[in-house]
Structure 1
Amino acid sequence: MTDATPALLAYLSRWLDESQGDRDAEAVLWGRVAKVSEEAGEAIAALVGATGQNPRMRPLWGNTHSYDDVVDELLDVAITAMTAAEPAGVTT
């Protein structure tokens, strides 16, 4: 983590909060943490697609994802987790 990381996470957190209106802070945190799980599921789906592990899809379309898709989804997981940690005080 660089010296700029906490400031960037705080900025991203404020940007996300702008769309939340007057929602309860605990509800917002629950939503952010749940979003980490959703993003992790997308990373797993991309890995399944990149390795051709879904026998139902493989005969029709072959591999449905690339390894670049897997990396993109893993980065989504990381950013989502970091922005979930910021309001929880984990980064302070």
Structure 2
Amino acid sequence: MTRPITLPQHVAALLSWLNTANPPTEHEIAMRIMKIGEEFGEVVAAYIGVTGQNPRKGVSATRAELTGELCDVIIAAMAALATVAGDVKQAERLLNEHLSARHPRLSALVRAGAA
């Protein structure tokens, strides 16, 4: 049985390929950041397709397509973060620090809502 690929493993491979094809110049960094927006647009299109909101197309996407597009947003965001941070390990560290800084407030809100 093969082990699942983790987000950091996938992003490291992605950046290896991207950095060879398009070295991380200021322009390339901007493109990687903008890729998040492109992927978000694909999430929106998939959601419209899942809900059948476009009467011309009707239901034209599946929940699996929608979740796949959401995963692509996460991958694009992590790739951009790793590019800006310098590498995947730094991106993981920054993300963990960010989550740790925000979690106490979230926990307080959860406790307050549960009261």
* TM interval, short-chain normalised: 0.7 to 0.9
1:9 matches 2:11: yes
Count of matched residue pairs:
83
Deviations 1:15-55 (A, max 9, x none): 211111xx561101100011110010001100100010112
Query: What amino acid is aligned across from residue 68 of structure 1 in structure 2?
Result: A
For the 8 Å contact 2:24–2:83, the answer to whether it is kept is: no
Q: How does 1:1-80 map to 2 (within 5 A)?
A: 9-20=11-22, 25-58=25-58, 63-80=59-76
TM-score norm. by structure 1 comes to 0.77
Q: CA-atom RMSD, angstroms?
A: 2.0
State TM-score, norm by structure 2. 0.63
Q: Which runs of 4+ in 1 moved over 4 A?
A: 4-8
Question: Higher RCO, 1 or 2 (CA under 8 Å, sep at least 6)?
Answer: 1
Residue 14 of structure 2 aligns with an amino acid whose one-letter code is L
Unaligned runs of 5+ in 2: 1-5, 94-115
Identity of aligned residues (%): 35
SS of 1:33 mapped into structure 2: helix
Which amino acid letter does the alignment assign opposite residue 73 of structure 2?
V
- Give the greater-gyration-radius structure (CA): 2
